[in-house]
Every structure is written in structure tokens, then in C-alpha cells.
Structure 1
Amino acid sequence: MRSYSYTANAFFFTTALWVLLIRVFTELPRSITAVGWANMPDNDYNRIVSGLFILMMMVGIVFLRRLQVRFALQQVLMFGAAVLFFYTVLAVYTFGQLGMSYTGIGVVIMRYLMEILVAVFFWNFVRSARDLGKIRSIFFMPALLIIFLISYLQIATSSFEDVQGVERLIGPFGNPNVLAAFMHFFIVATIVLYINEKGIKFWILLVAQYILLFYTGSMTMILSHLVFLFFVGVANRWYKSKLFYYAAVVIIPSVIAVIIAQADAILARLAVLFNTETFELHSGSSIVWRMDAWASYLSLLDTPLKWLFGLGIGTQRAVFLTGYPGSLTHIFEAPGTHNDYLGVLVDFGLFGLLLFFIGIRALLRYLKSLERINPTIRYLRYFLFSLLFAMLSENILDQLSMSLSILVLVSFCKTVYLQKHEPGLA
């Protein structure tokens, strides 16, 4: 019986990783379509494989019955389920009032449900450091190598797309910001998973990822990554290292050379944002667009009750999006708030925003406690700081890159937890 349990666990664990790998690359049609290689829709693929991934984790959890959840966390999960149900009912009411399709609610619920199940599943099914190794070999490296293959092929063939007047790398995940978010995540994951094996492969992986990150031209994610590096540098006291200053002698001139070489592209990007002579913002500037979007979303909160409880889950993702019957695109068109804090406010109100900050604070405190056992955890804490910064101008909470971040975060934390409580298994 014990052997069967181990075999079943290995089967579900491995299958879940492969299903997630497939889920990652259902995003590829966006890239293929963007560069004109084919005409393949991606939304149906994404939803089908997301559903398959959720089903696989639920089957594993229900049939293997290996849930190891403390009583306090059980109460939190039950409270979360009640909150989710309440905001689903509220969303149905909101969408009914607008005459909108309920599809938008289902899509967002599926995204949040996948993130919750990723956390529960991998916390319960990571039983040793060997399982973390499985994640690295079965999921992490194959996913990263395929991203390299597609992205570098696009660079080699100059397959870029005009985005806001600038040629930018679309990559395997569509929007340049999405590709940049994945690169930011994979760089941090590479550091966390390979920090104790800093051989030639480690440095090659980092350099290759940094090239793709900067090629995307995503200012938000590049700045977010610099926030991550700032915390890493301060924690490791780079300012006291001679190597840091030796590297600066090479890096700073290289950056200046790149800026000079790409001056036309940089000026073209800035010219889209504002008049480079008068510094006045253009009406088509993404900065102006974001401010208009924020104002439009805030205008939806027109009663005290809406400010308190929001409009229901999925509202900020669908209400101003074309393609949904009854959407408010005649007022404004926006695929989400481009600010996760505002997104939480619109969907869940001030009550939900308060819960969000309480949850973030609890997570940061937990990560801090684990750092005493394994200092590598601090990189995940700095990564969380960088995401909180990126959330100021992007929607990240319900994206696939967040699901992958949760996977690595939970799996690594579980191995550290085992080091403390069950050292024989770790």
C-alpha cells in the first residue's frame, strides 16, 4: 500500500508538471500569430489546458488525500472560499445589470482557482529536495529552453512587431510585457534553484535571460527587475566588494555604448510618450492612456457600497474589454486596469484590498522566518517586492507568470520547511 501511494504520488506530481508545461506553451500561438507564421487562436487552447491542469490537481488532492493543512489554515481556506463565493454572486449581479456575458467571470475565477490549487497541490506533493529537483528538470529547463529557441529565432530573423511606434520583441507569450514578466520570473528562479551550483551553466542561463529581458523593451518589468537587484545588492553588500566596482568599470561603459547605439530607438519610444522638446504628454501616450483608464475604472465605484465591496470578481478584466456583449467599450476600452491595486479595488472593494495587504504582510513575515533556515529564501522575498512595484502599472496577479511564481515559491518554501521539521526527508 505504501509503494502504491508513492507511485501514485509520483504519477500525479509528474503529470501536473507536464500539464503546466503544456499550459505555458499554449501561449505560443500569440507569438506565431504576431509574427505572421500562422493564424492560430490561443484563447481556447489556454482555457482547455488550464481546465485540465485544475482537474489534474483536484483529482490528485481528492484521491490521494494527502492534504497537510493546519487547522488555522483550514479556517483561512474556508473563509477564502466564502469570500470567493460572495464576490462571484456580486459579479453575476453586476454583469446582469450591464447585460454582459458571464464568460468574463468564469475566465478570472479559473485563473484564481489555478493559483490557489497550485499552492495547495505543490505544498502537499513536494516531500523532499528531490521533488524540487524534479520541478527543475521536468518543468523549469524545458520551458526555459523552448522560450530561448522561439525568442532568439525571432531576434535572428528580425521578427518584431510595432508597439506604440517602436519595434519590440513579442516572444512566445505575446505582449512584450508578458515576455518580460516571464524573463523576470525565470531569472529569479534560476538564482533560487542554481545559486549553490554557480557553474558555467548558471552564468550562461543568466546572460541569455538578461538579453531577452532587455530586448522586450518593457520599461515596467525592467525597472521591477532593477528593484529586485537593488535589494539583492544591498543584502549582499555589493558596495563593499571590489568585484562590484571592477564590474562597474565594464558595465557602465557598455550601457552607455548601448544607449548611444540605440539612441534612435530610445528617442522614438520617448517621442511616443511625450513631446521631447516641450515634454508635454501626447494624447496617445501610454501614460495618458493609463491615467484615463484609472479614471474610467474609478468612475464605476459610484456608491459607498461599491467602494466597500467592489463590483465582483472578473469585473476589471471584462467590463471595458471588446468581445463581451454589453461591455462598456463605448465609454473606454481597456484590457484590465493596468494597476493591480486598482484591479483589486474594483473587483473586491476596500474590504478586499485590506485582505490583500494582510495576506502580503503575512507572506513576507513567513518568508522572513524561513530565511533563518535557508538564506536563499530572501531572493523570493525581494522578488515579491519587485512584483509589488510592477503592480503599480501592470496587471500581474491573475496571469500565468504569477502561477509559475507561486509554484516555485511554494515548492522551495516546502523544502525549507522540511529542513526544519523533517530533516531526514530534506
Structure 2
Amino acid sequence: MTDLLYARAQMGLSLAFHIVFAAAGVALPVLMVLSDWKGRRTGDADYQKLSQKLAKGTAILFAVGAVSGTVLSFELGLLWPEFMGQYGEVIGLPFSLEGVAFFTEAIFLGIYLYGRERVSPGMHMSSGVMVAVSGAASAFFVTLVNTFMNHPSGFTPSASGPMDVQPLVAMFSPGWQYQTAHVLLSCYQASAFAMAGIHAFVLLRHPGVAFHRKALSVALPLACVTALLQPVVGDLSAKHVAKAQPVKLAAMEGQFETERGAPLRLGGLPNVETGEVPYAVDIPKGLSILAFADPDAEVKGLNAFPRDEWPPVAKVHVAFQIMVGTGSAMALLALVTLGWRWRKKAWPHGRKMMWAWLLSGPLGVVAMEAGWLVTEWGRQPWILRGVMRTADAVTPVPHLAAPFWTFTVVYLFLGVTVVLLLVRQVAGTLPTRDSGPLGGEANAN
């Protein structure tokens, strides 16, 4: 591989690793506070125990996220010095605010972890709320940077660099509200589905453990609500992409020719040489309806743009299909679950539903990673769309294979360590051999 590809691969690996921990850092505090609130309201020790477990999990993931986030900060400057050197002043404000949010989250997480018996209940609960708010703010500000990279604004390009810089305009580039909402929802959705999947797995093996049923009752509402909201926000985001980044939309949908009444393609693998999408199922006029709310609207195809400005079409299309497919599956499961909740006046606990939630547990993370790939691959070959190409921003320093493989090993080590630590947290809630057929928690209730 060339040094450019190694630089892109290293940045991609770092982001793919970090995004999982960043998402958990946003969502777990919400689940932690909900558990704490239910415990204080009902006096149920299981909910208090759950909030403590979630707090420990948040601390573990926060620590690893801090490491990977710090690495990303250095990589932006070291791997892409031209971009940061020229446009750092334009988009530096959200980076600074993200740092403030990060430190605020760290401070209040410390209070929540170590102040349970040392501060008043109100202060303790408020510190948990602040952890959740700060985590969401951190993700919000970082996403604003990505929005700017996809739709740059707030400056005038020139041969000598950006002129007439307006930091607030750059910070809130067009489409910021759709992209930030989409990202925040994906964080809550991925974490809630993962948590539901873990507890569903335990309940399949130990159906009577009350602790895990209660944990499921905390995760399922957030999972269901976000799974149903996400398609709505995703549709608004896609409509913005259709107008502001038509070449990305064409790659997402495998649309090679400009046409009115463009079909919506399900599946398939685009062939850039033939301009066809074999194995796809076409829904007549579906793309025109979804993108412009008009069955006869014109959709620009890839052939309307210079070939050297095409993103990697097949990769973008497949990643988009994965994101939409997994998102649709989660929304369907959420509808079934809420229907059960409405009819039975209780959250589902049968084996079939537990299997459904177990199998769906990883889908939130898969959808989130696929969505990130759509965003990043879909912007190529630009690091700053329409202004600076990725190849022009990369560092001239050679031998980038060495840091790539080094960080790959480091991330593998961190990943394995985190999994082992989280497994220990879950194992501590399992019934012991001498606790009876339903487990200690179940008998206690």
C-alpha cells in the first residue's frame, strides 16, 4: 500500500475503534441514571446494583475512549498536517468545546463513582445527569467537525488559504442538525441494543434471575424509542445529502445515470465499468420519492460528475445497504416489542423474544460503523469536500506502515482487555450454584 492508503487506514482503524467507546460514553450514563432513579424511587436494590455496574462499565469505557480519542487528536495533526495547518483556525472552536465537555464529563464521573455515600442523593443524581449531558455534548461538537468536512462553510477559499473566517458559521455548517441527531441517536441505540442483548443472553440461560429482567426493562425503552426515531432522522439526513452532496447519494444508491423517477435499489453490487448494479431489486420511482418527495423528480447520477470525483461506489453502496438493513431490522423488532408491551402490560420475557434481542444485540454497533463508513467513504476523494483532496492533505513523512501496524496491535490489546473487564462485570451478577433454581436475586425478590 502507498503511504496515503496507510494514513487513511490508520485513521479509519482509530475511528472505527474509538466510535464504539465514544458511543458507550454517551449512552451508558443515561442508562446509569435511569437505573439510579428507578432504584431511589422504588427502593429496589437490584436497580441500585445495576446503576453501580453501569457506572463501573462507563468508567472502563471512558478510560479506553480517552486513550483512543487522544490518539485521534494527534493523528489529525501528524497524518493530515496540511488540513489542520490551513483549516484548524476555521474549525478549531468545536474542537475546543469538545475538550471542555470531555473534562466536565470526567469531573462529574468522578463525583458519581466515588461520591455515592459522600454527597447528598440529589447531588449524586445531578452528577450522573451531568455525565450524560457532557458525553452527549462531546459527541455533538465532534460531529460538527465532520459536518464541516462534508459541507464546508464559514470561509472564503483562496490560493493562500481560507479568508474571511467565520468560526460560528463553520461550526454550524448546513445539515448540522440532521447529522448530529443521527449520530447521537446511533449512540443511544447501539448501546441500548447491546445491553439488551447481553441481558437477554443471561436470561436464556437463567430465566428466573430478577436482576437481569429489571436490567432489560431499563434497556428496552431506550432501544425501542431510538430504533423508531432513527429512520425518521435518517430520512431527513438523506434528503439533505440528496440536495447538498448528490454524488454521495448516487454512490449510496448505485445510481449511474441521471434520470427522472429514479428507482430505489435494494441490494446489488455496483459495477463502475458497466454502470450497472447486478442482483439489485428495483422499486420504481422509489429514490425520487424518498429523496425529493416527488415520484418524477430528477436524481443526478454518477456520470454527471467527473470520474476522479467519484467515491468508491461499491463500498459506499454496500455499507449503506448494511446500515439501512440493520436499522430496519431493529425498527421492526422495536415495533413488535412495543406491541407486546402494550398488550401484555409488561416487557417480553419469552424465549423467542429473548433470542430475537440476543441476535439483534450487535446490530446497533454494525449499523453505526456502516453509517460512519458511508459518511467517510462517501466524501472521498476529498478531506474537505470540494476544497482540499485527501491526497493533498497527507503528511510527506514516509514509512507510515510502521505506526499503522503498531496501533493495530495496541487496539487489539485494548479491545481484548475491555471485553475481559466487562465480562467480569456481567459475571458478578450471575446466580451461584448454591443459590437455588432461580438464583439469589430471584429468591430475594
Structure 1-normalised TM-score?
0.27
Structure 2-normalised TM-score?
0.26
